[in-house]
Each structure stands twice: as structure tokens, then as C-alpha cells.
Amino acid sequence: MALRNITVRGSEILTKKCKPIKAITPRIRELAEDMVETMIAADGVGIAAPQVGVMKRFFVAMPHVDSEDEAIREKIYYMINPEITYREGTQESSEGCLSVPGYMGLVDRPEKIRIKATDLDGNEQEYEFEGFAATVFCHEYDHLDGILYSDIAKEMMTVEEYSERLEALKEEHAEEKAE
């Protein structure tokens, strides 16, 4: 396994539509391992192939980071040629991206999705996600069409501004409780 370089905003690679994967070759398996290693090393919850310079419709995600169950928390989804087949509701998500370092943004995403994809063993799978996990899969899926969350965000802010806002919200909440 090896760490790969993460492409950042400004590179044309991140603006292009990726091509389907035709066969799960040893090279694709190696790419999958490297993407997982790169994602974990960068403290991300998902990474798409174009972010490491490979223009293929493939991403990996680890969306259950807050689960109390270790097996669920560490579950990695391998999404080859994914397709979102159903969207329901709306939620406002706070997002960051390994390709847009230093920023956060507010994005409207579906509350619930169904997504199908081929896994690393070549089996077609269909999943249903809601809440945070749904936003992760929508975010990664967009990368395959050359869309960054910063392209569709309602509002962008620096990581510092975002933490200040969170702090302010916490204080407000604490004051409310004290009253």
C-alpha cells in the first residue's frame, strides 16, 4: 500500500467527468487500498479516484465514524460505478473536502438516498443511507462528475470561522439552558 498525493482545488482533474471502470483488475484493487490508506492518513471519511488523479468512477467511504459499534465504525464501502437511484427530503450539511483544505461550507443535500454500486468482489450492491452518511455519499458521488461541494455550497467559510461559529452556538445553547 502507498499514500497517494491528493489533488487540490484549482486542478482541472477535479472538474472533469470520470469514466466507468470496466474490470476489477489488480491495478484497481491496488488503487482501492491506496485510496483507503490516503483517506485515513488525511483524517477523511471519503475519497474519490479523481482526488488521487485517477479519472474513474470509483470512491471509498467510511461514513459511520460516530457509531458506538466498532465494526460499523470501521466499515469501508467500495463504490465502483455508483449510481444514486433515489433521493428523499433535504438537510443542510456542513462539509469539508480533502481537495479543498482549510474551508468548510453549508450544502443542501437529500436527507435520505439509495445508491447502488459494484463492490471490489464484482458484486452489485444497493445501500440506503440517511443523515451524515447520505451527505458523504452524495459528496463523493459528485466528485465523479467533476463537482466540488464548494461549487454548490450556499455558504463557504474558513475552518477557523466555522469553529468560531460552533463555539458561539454552544455558548448560546449553554445560556439558554442556564436561563
Among 9-17, 34-42, 89-97, 156-164, the segment contacting Ni ion (CB under 5 A): 89-97
Residue 134 within binding range of Ni ion, rule CB under 5 A: no
- Whole-number Å distance between alpha carbons of 26 and 34: 12
Residue closest to Ni ion (Cβ): 97
Residue 136 within binding range of Ni ion, rule CB under 5 A: no
Q: Are residues 108 and 54 in contact, defined by beta-carbon separation less than 8 angstroms?
A: no
Answer for which of 35, 97, 133, 134 binds Ni ion (CB under 5 A) is 97
DSSP labels, 89-112:
S-EEEEE--TTSTTEEEEEEE-SE
Taking residue 125's Cβ as centre, other Cβ atoms within 10 Å add up to: 15
CB of 59 to Ni ion, least distance (A): 9
Long-range CB contacts for residues 68-76, cutoff 8 Å, separation at least 24: 76/36
For Ni ion, give the closer residue by CB, 42 or 174: 42
Element (H, E) at 155: strand 155-158
Catalytic residues: 140
Residue 49 within binding range of Ni ion, rule CB under 5 A: no
CB of 19 to Ni ion, least distance (A): 19
Among 15-23, 57-65, 84-92, 97-105, the segment contacting Ni ion (CB under 5 A): 97-105
The residue written with cell numbers 480533502 in the block is 98
Binding site for Ni ion (CB under 5 A): 97
